[in-house]
Amino acid sequence: MPKILRVSVFNRALFALCLLANASKATEHKTGDHGCAALKERQAGFQALNQAAQRSSALNRGADTYDIHHYHFNLEVTNTSTTIAGDVMFKSVVTSPVMDTFWFELRDFMTVDSVRLNNTTYLPASLSRLNHVVRIPLASNLDAGMAVSCRVYYRGTPPSSGFFSGITSAQSQTWGVNVTWTLSEPFSAPDWFPCKQDLADKIDSVFFDGTSVSPNKVASTGLLVGVDTLSGNRMKYKWRSRYPMAFYLMAFAVTNYTEHLSWAYPAAMGGDSLLVQHWIYNANNSSGTSCLNFNRNALNSTGPMIENFSNLFVLYPFSNEKYGHMMAPLGGGMEHQTMSTMGSFGMDLIAHELAHQWFGDMVTCATWNDIWLNEGWASYGEYLHRQYVISQTSASDWMTNTHNSARSATTGSVYVPASGITNVNRIFSSQLTYKKGAAVLHMLRNEVDNDSLFFGGVRQYLNAKRHSVATTDEFRQIMEQYTGTPLVDFFQDWVYGEGHPTYDVRWNWRDSVLWVQTSQTTSAPTVTPVFRNQLPLGLVTSGPGQAPTLIQIEPALGLQRIWIPRQVVSMSLDPNNAILKGTASTITRLSTLGAGLEEDPGQDWLQCYPNPSQGPLNVYLALASKLALRDMTGKLVWQGQGEEGWNRLDAVTAPGTYLLEAVSINGTRLIRRVSLR
């Protein structure tokens, strides 16, 4: 979705923009925030128009009475203005018991010349228009299951007022070319075509025929199947996509393009290749360098990105068609399905829009409340590209910058509340939707604490919701079921909750026992008083025996006792910066911690070491107890008798998270969560 870098000069007095101070220039591929999420507010009046239209559409368009299956655009377009003319035909099936009125959404500034619905033509006098909804009283009722073919002949010159305009025409200040392009997310599709704004109603296929005067070329989604030469030096570019597509992912861009082709070779394609089609300005900059040569290396990096994401997730979801880029002077990028619209080609921006092809395009957020499933994952794609293709150092620098940005939002949830779903700037909040969303996904990876399980769960999610929509809770349930990790508390705190914690960790090591006392304050205490997640601690040890270099504790549990056979010399708090936390977080040694408690088991008479474990689990019992190991569904995996002292649990289990239950001889019952890798 809207990844916003810089704004082209529109010379509109009311157009306000907010740029991140360290936003990258088009020429830079450096560590840091590439700025694609630094939202630019739209012209206030036009933004209010779109938001009001979204609300009124829901109230006035009528019930969800039909399901769209196919779109066919046939439009005349130009690179020098937003003027469009032509027709759009969409095929649908009636879903209501009886339909007596057909409807679609189209802004009132667009002129409808006629509508051909099945075999009947309706002229403007027979149509009604209210709050950007066109309603067509039918000559005869249609029953559920009946097909509807609606062709709308229309024209107009929509206003363009910034990044979120449905259609914009502007000049690239760097390359001196005029470009017209579309961007429909979230509420701007009716700016330029008749539509039904329903995230769940994906269109089975989209054909786009775009005609313009040569040397213009018209780029769009899907495969280019032909170019027709027409009268008046006009050329018609015919694009075909046969994958399900959300309404806001249909798009075009028009200017004098040149084409550059590269290829990707995902392992899942068994040696076959995937076309990567770049449509770049056919122009030179002031130094005489062509746009293609200026961007060639960046463009050619797209293939390895596709291969990496196909390995981590699932095969690129539109592999029978292509992936590509169409340039336009927008301040960032937009993930149009199979053909992202790009203002420039910074590494993070390319990775972000590409990751959207899995998260946003193949699996789309079910509501705008769930937009973080699109944007958080696309942002995390930037990290994953750096981690697996560039270096861990590069990825770590990215996460540091992301945490800095996310911390600036001391309140507000990753999940967009009901009060925010008509506010473009809240939906696409840089700090919450993008940055904190990505940070939460990285913390979820730490919570699972097993990359095989984490990415396996992600693949399960993508396959389960393939070419459909998903809610936040559906994502949680799938990840929880696959990984065996309980996630209700984690999502409640980090996705639906607000703010972040600041930790104060005290520790001490005495006689093979590591004592850890954790307290936390939060930036939004009235909403989220405590965060329940695992917190990594780094260990430096000395002496005979083996000891882990990293352990996970649960800060919400307070005082914890962990058996560490080697002397713990020093400890670090979250050494890999996996957790979003306050910069004032501290970890210090307190020599008196644990003194006098060695003989009093209290609530610590059940301990597990190491935890997580890659082999046998050592279980400490201060009291002889019956032991039971269960998976997260409650199914019994193993049971046996434990003796006082240390017990070696050799139960053969699959990797995952389990609950170890101990019932002592006096009837006391304790449960500990254990992770097996």
- Which domain covers residue 664, as residue numbers? 601-677
d(CA 190, CA 180): 17
d(CA 639, CA 629): 6
Q: Is residue 432 part of a domain?
A: yes
Q: Is residue 370 part of a domain?
A: no
pLDDT at position 38 over 90? no
Note whether 538 and 562 are within 8 A (CB): no
Q: Tens of pLDDT along 532-568?
A: 999 999 999 998 767 778 999 988 877 888 888 889 9
Query: How far from 422 is each of 86, 275, 416, 427, 490, CA to CA, in Å?
Result: 30, 37, 10, 8, 27
Q: Tens of pLDDT along 513-529?
A: 899 999 999 999 999 99
Determine the pLDDT at residue 23: 32
Note whether 288 and 314 are within 8 A (CB): no
305 and 166 in one domain? Answer: yes
224 and 309 in one domain? Answer: yes
pLDDT at position 581 over 90? yes
Q: Tens of pLDDT along 207-259?
A: 999 999 999 999 999 999 999 999 999 999 999 999 999 999 999 999 999 99
Determine the pLDDT at residue 654: 77
327 and 228 in one domain? Answer: yes
Over residues 323-341, the mean pLDDT reads 97
574 and 477 in one domain? Answer: no
Q: How many CB atoms lie within 10 A of CB 597?
A: 15
Q: Is residue 381 part of a domain?
A: yes
182 and 68 in one domain? Answer: yes
d(CA 489, CA 486): 8
**Of 570, 597, 624, which residue constitutes the final position of a domain?**
597
**Of 447, 473, 494, which residue constitutes the final position of a domain?**
494
For tokens 């940055």, the residue is 435
Over residues 9-17, the mean pLDDT reads 28
Q: Which of 42, 337, 80, 49 is nearest to 191 (CA)?
A: 49
d(CA 539, CA 46): 56
295 and 397 in one domain? Answer: no
The CATH number of the domain where 619 resides is what?
Answer: 2.60.40.1930
142 and 115 in one domain? Answer: yes
Determine the pLDDT at residue 677: 74
The CATH number of the domain where 555 resides is what?
Answer: 2.60.40.1910
673 and 529 in one domain? Answer: no
383 and 431 in one domain? Answer: yes
Q: Is residue 564 part of a domain?
A: yes
**Of 344, 365, 386, which residue constitutes the final position of a domain?**
365
Kindly report the three-state secondary structure assignment for every residue of 434-451.
HHHHHHHHHHHHHHHCCH
Q: How far is CA 647 from the centre of its chain?
A: 44
Q: Tens of pLDDT along 271-300?
A: 999 999 999 999 999 999 999 999 999 999
The CATH number of the domain where 138 resides is what?
Answer: 2.60.40.1730
Note whether 617 and 674 are within 8 A (CB): yes
The CATH number of the domain where 476 resides is what?
Answer: 1.10.390.10
Q: Is residue 224 part of a domain?
A: yes
344 and 220 in one domain? Answer: yes
The full DSSP string for 261-308 is EEEE--GGGTT--EEEEEEEES-B-TTS-BHHHHHHHHHHTHHHHHHH
Q: Is residue 225 part of a domain?
A: yes
Q: What is the domain count for the chain? A: 4
84-94 β-sheet, strand order: 120-122, 111-117, 147-156, 84-94, 66-77, 205-213, 234-241, 223-230
Estimate the crossing angle of helix 451-464 against helix 472-483, to 10 degrees.
130
- Check residues 629 and 110 and name the one with the higher pLDDT: 110
522 and 403 in one domain? Answer: no
Estimate the crossing angle of helix 437-448 against helix 392-407, to 10 degrees.
120
425 and 354 in one domain? Answer: no
Q: Tens of pLDDT along 441-479?
A: 999 999 999 999 999 999 999 999 999 999 999 999 999
Q: Is residue 550 part of a domain?
A: yes
Beta-sheet strands, E only, within 439-553:
468-470, 501-510, 513-522, 535-542, 550-553
The predicted model scores a pTM of: 0.85
Q: Is residue 116 part of a domain?
A: yes
- Angle at the Cα of 220 from the Cα atoms of 215 and 223, rounded to 5 degrees: 105
